Structure 1
Amino acid sequence: MHRVALHYTLHTGEDDVARGVQHPLSTLLGAVADAGSIAAAARRIGASYRHVWGALKRWEAELGQPLVHWEQGQAARLTDFAAKLLWAERQAQARLAPQIEALRGELEHAFAAAFDPEVQWLALHASHDEALVALRAYAAQQAGLHLDLRFTGSVDAIRALNEGRCLLAGFHGLAQAPRHSATARAYRARLKPGQHKLIGFACRTQGLIVAPGNPLQLHTLRDVAARAVRFVQRSPGSGTRVLLQELLAAEGLPEDALATLPRGETTHSAAAEAVAAGAADAALGIEAAARQRGLTFVPLAEEHYHLVCLKSALQQPAVRALRALLAAPAWQQQMAQWPGYAPLHCGEVLSLRQTLPWWNFRKNITPPAQNGHLVLSQ
């Protein structure tokens, strides 16, 4: 059995910081798989042909199995073993992304305090979101604000806020979920008007993540259910799992209508990785996760992603700094360029009762489903 050792490096600029835990073998295999030749792979990673060829040979000797089919005049192809190795590493990276980001945050907190005892630090527990990863880097660069970002389920994030384990939480849900919906059941008891305040963040699109070109022609959850395709479920307590309940109800489908895989994934990245590797046929997730892996995205619904804090925290310097950063045109222009995202009341303090329809005491009406897309009023 091969053991794993971890190490980290220090950088002065965010541009040099790679996400995840990098390993040279996975970098080599990914470059060969994507480029189709040793020479092209070498150019992609900025190395010489001789270096890449020698490194692959050394790894083959170390692992005792061939990694690349070397037929002369043919495109370089990964062996089945190498393809499995690459998929396993990518899947592990996607699944461990929340823990890796938490570890990175702990280390950066320690070093930031050592260099500057007055540094601003803000603990944020949130449902997995690619825009928050970008915000973390942007806040450090532009405002010297360090976000201690911990990815967890939406429900767990709000619980952490209420238990005092973070200053800010991130959760998401349909814009027009009715009073007795899954969204209301998941969040209503944990959010109190007058005690909690929302901070606007983003509108984002969720939908089906499927193989390139959508060969199974999956356009709605009813298609997924009728064809019994392998579907990636998200872990309990995640906002996307709550969203799935809402979408199934809108289609008139029971919660057990889908042929879900046994293991629920904790992030959009991990769900998309399962589809990319052929371990699943479809997943529910954000557009950015699909595009990053060359997958096809079928939009199903728009949702609002909110940040929430206690009312008493609004005047804390770190929260005020973050709100100012979110309200800046430069940040909002950056967010608007990402697939499936749009800024929504960025940095504004919002009322629970006015923003979340299931806090209004008038009768709520479930939005109609048309062609498999949940229609939301804005």
Structure 2
Amino acid sequence: MNDNSALTPQEVADILKIAKNTVYELIKRGELNSYRVGKKIRVDLKDVDEYRNKTKSVKSTNQPDSFTVNNKLNSFSEEELVRNNGFVICGQDILLDILSRYLQLHPNGIQALRSYVGSYNGLYALYQGNVQMATAHLWDGDTGQYNIPFVRRMLPGVPAVIIHLACRLQGFYVAKGNPKGIKGWEDLKRKELTIINREKGSGTRVLLDEHLRKLGISAKNIKGYERESTSHLAIASTVARGGADIGIGNEKSGLQVKGIDFIPLQSERYELVIKKEDIEKAPYQAVLEILRSQEFKMELEGIGGYDLTDIGKIVDET
């Protein structure tokens, strides 16, 4: 096979030993070059090799379904930061990719860079001044609140504004037909079950850990707890292939994978966090206008999986 060989997404998945849906996500995030031939997506072998070489220096998990995303906040070049006025939106949901596109086209907008890190690390980056906007879906088991307790603890002395984006259903991914009869969090006490976990710092990982704490379940007694993957799609794909009995993620992503049933457990609040000192600046006002626009809301409704009732609403000023 020569360097110019055109590969299908499935062939790329076979080479990288990942799920085909993960290939599509890499392409969507701009990490893997692709092109169209009619309605079909194709990837050159040389671009697959380039992707592999680019990620070799990044520590990865030893699981075949996990993949490396460009999530280091210092990975942006000085030229990129200057060109984009250092404006970085942090978070992993496709909603933010769409928001970035709208922001680039807005009269008072800006071209934003995207950093695909989890909620905890995103808030830390905002505190350090490395990103301008961070998203969070962090559940506090003691108060039952999302995000507000974490923002107040993780941005000490930094007044912040929390803007609601959407509510999403979080739950378990299980094999089609739920052959193990899994119902909820209490099932994590069953020693015969194996899970596939999200990476440290993600909102989903925090959700799991908070429920384990409240139920008095030791993580070391759960098979697969140390096995991590960095996307909902990869988690669901692992369960579909029989690599785990339980995965945790949102409903929208799980329904994209064949061979999966979704067990809803709780509704989570996905929200945007910015520093209060920035809210009157033009790009931030543009973001608020976009979030509250009917056009943006209609595009998200077309994707499905979001409750957009309070999108654009300021829910807390710390």
Same fold (TM over 0.5): yes
Uncovered stretches (5+) of structure 2, i.e. residues with no partner: 21-36, 46-62
More displaced 10-residue stretch of structure 1: 155-164 or 186-195: 186-195
Please name the residue that 1:96 is paired with.
Answer: 68
Between the aligned partners of 2:176 and 2:193, the Cα distance in structure 1 is: 16
Q: Is the 8 A contact 2:99 2:290 kept in 1?
A: no
**1:150 and 1:344, CA in 2 relative to 1: closer, same or farther beyond 3 A?**
farther
Per-residue CA shift, 1:125-174, capped at 9, x if unaligned?
22x32322333344446666433111112111111111110111111134
Between the aligned partners of 2:78 and 2:178, the Cα distance in structure 1 is: 42
More displaced 10-residue stretch of structure 1: 224-233 or 249-258: 249-258
Please name the residue that 2:23 is paired with.
Answer: none
What is the aligned counterpart of 2:287 among 304, 322, 344? 322
- Residue 226 of structure 1: CA displacement? 1.6
Between the aligned partners of 2:79 and 2:298, the Cα distance in structure 1 is: 27
What is the aligned counterpart of 1:209 among 158, 166, 173? 173
User: Aligned letter for 1:263?
Assistant: R
Please name the residue that 1:362 is paired with.
Answer: none
What is the aligned counterpart of 2:9 among 10, 19, 26? 26
| Matching of residues 1-378 of structure 1 within 5 Å | 24-27=7-10, 88=64, 91=65, 95-99=67-71, 113=83, 122-126=87-91, 128-140=92-104, 145-174=110-139, 177-179=141-143, 187-192=151-156, 195-226=159-190, 228-249=192-213, 251=215, 253-294=217-258, 295-352=260-317
Q: Is the 8 A contact 2:146 2:269 kept in 1?
A: no
- Residue 207 of structure 1: CA displacement? 0.3
Per-residue CA shift, 1:64-89, capped at 9, x if unaligned?
xxxxxxxxxxxxxxxxxxxxxxx95x
Please name the residue that 1:372 is paired with.
Answer: none
Task: Please give the TM-score of this superposition, normalised by the length of structure 1.
Answer: 0.60
Q: Is the 8 A contact 1:177 1:183 kept in 2?
A: no
- Residue 276 of structure 1: CA displacement? 2.8
Uncovered stretches (5+) of structure 1, i.e. residues with no partner: 8-21, 35-44, 53-58, 60-86, 114-118, 354-378
- Residue 179 of structure 1: CA displacement? 4.1
- Residue 203 of structure 1: CA displacement? 0.8
- Residue 254 of structure 1: CA displacement? 4.2
More displaced 10-residue stretch of structure 1: 245-254 or 291-300: 245-254
Between the aligned partners of 1:316 and 1:100, the Cα distance in structure 2 is: 26
User: Aligned letter for 2:179?
Assistant: P
Q: Is the 8 A contact 1:123 1:149 kept in 2?
A: yes
- Residue 334 of structure 1: CA displacement? 2.8
**1:301 and 1:28, CA in 2 relative to 1: closer, same or farther beyond 3 A?**
same
Q: Is the 8 A contact 2:71 2:117 kept in 1?
A: no
User: Aligned letter for 2:241?
Assistant: A
Between the aligned partners of 1:151 and 1:182, the Cα distance in structure 2 is: 20
**1:98 and 1:218, CA in 2 relative to 1: closer, same or farther beyond 3 A?**
farther
User: Aligned letter for 2:251?
Assistant: E
Which has the larger helix fraction? 1
Q: Is the 8 A contact 1:177 1:184 kept in 2?
A: no
Please name the residue that 1:356 is paired with.
Answer: none
**1:346 and 1:278, CA in 2 relative to 1: closer, same or farther beyond 3 A?**
same
Matched-pair identity in % = 24
Tell me how large the CA RMSD over aligned residues is.
Answer: 4.2
Between the aligned partners of 1:279 and 1:181, the Cα distance in structure 2 is: 33
SS of the residue corresponding to residue 292 of structure 1 reads coil
**1:312 and 1:137, CA in 2 relative to 1: closer, same or farther beyond 3 A?**
same
Paired residues in the alignment total: 277
Per-residue CA shift, 1:191-237, capped at 9, x if unaligned?
35871111121111110012223222222122243253220112222
User: Aligned letter for 1:125?
Assistant: C
Q: Is the 8 A contact 1:233 1:264 kept in 2?
A: yes
SS of the residue corresponding to residue 279 of structure 1 reads coil
SS of the residue corresponding to residue 307 of structure 2 reads strand
Between the aligned partners of 2:138 and 2:72, the Cα distance in structure 1 is: 26
**1:136 and 1:215, CA in 2 relative to 1: closer, same or farther beyond 3 A?**
farther
- Residue 344 of structure 1: CA displacement? 4.6
More displaced 10-residue stretch of structure 1: 248-257 or 304-313: 248-257
Between the aligned partners of 1:283 and 1:163, the Cα distance in structure 2 is: 32
